[in-house]
Structure 1
Amino acid sequence: MARISVIIPAYNEENSIALVLQDIPAGTVDEVIVVNNNSTDRTAAVATAAGATVLQEPEPGYGNACLKGIAYVAAKPKEAQPDIVVFLDGDYSDYPEELLQLVAPILKGDAEMVIGSRAIGKRAKGAMMPQQIFGNWLATNLLRIFYGAHYTDLGPFRAIKFSTLIALGMKDKTYGWTVEMQAKAAKQKVKYTEVPVTYRKRIGTSKISGTMKGTLMAGYKIILTIFRYL
């Protein structure tokens, strides 16, 4: 039986994090890790009450939170480390119950990394802003042109073998996290696939696409990251 850990970066998600945690299929994962990324609300308390392992990462940044979760898992004894790590957002835009279909290609030996694609899945109206849709289109096309990678999305809901994740040597601390993983995977010839996932409007306002500054900063960082790892 494969050991699965879930890492959830969370910044001010007190209204959604319990819903995310309750929808993770019971009995399928060994540990759910919520990384409280400098929240000013009750995210940590709500996640703890819901049974998650809560880590504190005071340095803002999506990548910082993910790196904190990875470091926690990597510090465990070898026999306690997971076989698969799943990354999932804490805003309830993803459907945690789809975790099983996300890890299935890895369990079957067909892939080392699986991206949950919103582009080929079912996306609720208004769940993604026009700038997000365009940004994903641009980034995936740049990855195809420069890396020969055939992705349709930079979706945050993803699964990867833990050994593969460590071999990628992830570094990005902010907006470039997802595209860094996909660019490095393509460059290192990691066997990957995509599965369609369902996506709904998030609870609360997006910290990235919800502001013009966040959108521009994310777009700049994503493009910079694509060219950095060529």
Structure 2
Amino acid sequence: MSDSPSPSAELVLPCLNEAPALPWVLGQIPPGWRAVVVDNGSTDGSAELAASLGAHVVVEPLRGFGAACAAGLHAATAPLVGFCDCDASLDPGLMPLLAAPVLEGRVDLMLGRRRPTGPSSWPVHARLANHALARLIRRRTGLHLSDLGPMRVARRQALLALTLTDRRSGYPLQMVVHAADAGWRVHEIDVPYHPRAGRSKVTGTLRGTWHAVRDMRAVLDEPPHQHAGTAR
């Protein structure tokens, strides 16, 4: 894991009580990348542990996945920024694979398309909700995506220009929708999806999934975004 004051890329890791997963997750940060752990109200010592393991820790008191992602994006300084869950379900070591097409100028936003490594990796209700959401995304944006995975990478300045406002579960979707409205080239690539460490705060329960779907439907109902320009 790079602790350089001027990293070439940064990985935003939203964190809420992920102490069991942090040692493995931060151990997978690739060379040249800096981990930005955004603590979103942890009570298990996650922030202190992340700092002791060399991560740059940002505290975001406003609860919400989008609030944590936005705080991490605004705290980042590198030209390239990635996002990844902090629960050991996804391998941060794969970030260079996602970043390469962006750095080469072939893609503006690369998403990790989750491929479960076992039946316990992705609850059935969450998988069905994701499938339905993919159809709605195609209808709204024309993008033929099969997953709205949390693992993704793009250029920082371009992401800031998207003016993302959602601070709850709709943030990942709003990023894709605003990117499509801005004419971005959005692609996805397969990444292994492992059973997470601990229980998901969003899709681990039917209630959490319902709240996520509600937030995302609100994003889909927004009028087309007036963007500041393309990512290129």
TM-score, normalisation: structure 1: 0.91
Paired amino acid for 2:167: K
Q: CA deviation at 1:217?
A: 0.7
8 Å Cα contact 2:73/2:156 also seen in 1: no
Question: Is 1:60 matched up with 2:63?
Answer: yes
For residue 190 of structure 2, what is the aligned residue in structure 1?
196
For 1:44-193, list aligned pairs within 5 A: 44-73=47-76, 81-118=77-114, 121-193=115-187
In structure 2, the CA distance between the partners of 1:51 and 1:37, relative to structure 1 (3 Å rule), is: same
Question: Is 1:21 matched up with 2:19?
Answer: no
Aligned residues: percent identity?
Answer: 31
When the two chains are superposed, the root-mean-square deviation of aligned CA atoms in Å is 1.5
8 Å Cα contact 1:113/1:159 also seen in 2: yes
Paired amino acid for 1:36: D
8 Å Cα contact 1:122/1:196 also seen in 2: no
SS at match of 1:197: strand
SS at match of 1:34: strand
Paired amino acid for 1:93: S
In 2: Cα distance, 1:168 partner to 1:129 partner: 31
Once the two structures are superposed, residues 186-210 of structure 1 have per-residue CA deviations (whole angstroms, 9 ceiling, x without a partner) of 1111112111111100000011122
In 2: Cα distance, 1:122 partner to 1:131 partner: 14
In structure 2, the CA distance between the partners of 1:123 and 1:228, relative to structure 1 (3 Å rule), is: farther
Q: Which runs of 5+ in 2 are unaligned?
A: 1-6, 225-232
Q: CA deviation at 1:148?
A: 0.8
Q: CA deviation at 1:125?
A: 2.0
SS at match of 2:140: helix
- Number of residue equivalences: 219
8 Å Cα contact 1:19/1:92 also seen in 2: yes
8 Å Cα contact 2:28/2:93 also seen in 1: yes
In structure 2, the CA distance between the partners of 1:165 and 1:142, relative to structure 1 (3 Å rule), is: same
Paired amino acid for 1:46: L
**Which deviates more, 131-140 or 171-180?**
131-140
In 2: Cα distance, 1:66 partner to 1:164 partner: 15
TM-score, normalisation: structure 2: 0.90
Paired amino acid for 1:57: E
Following superposition, which runs of at least 4 residues in structure 1 exceed 6 angstroms of deviation?
Answer: none
Q: CA deviation at 1:166?
A: 1.1
Once the two structures are superposed, residues 174-228 of structure 1 have per-residue CA deviations (whole angstroms, 9 ceiling, x without a partner) of 1101111111111111112111111100000011122232111111111121121
8 Å Cα contact 1:14/1:46 also seen in 2: yes
In 2: Cα distance, 1:217 partner to 1:147 partner: 22
Question: Is 1:42 matched up with 2:31?
Answer: no
In structure 2, the CA distance between the partners of 1:101 and 1:6, relative to structure 1 (3 Å rule), is: same
For residue 215 of structure 2, what is the aligned residue in structure 1?
221
Q: CA deviation at 1:108?
A: 1.5
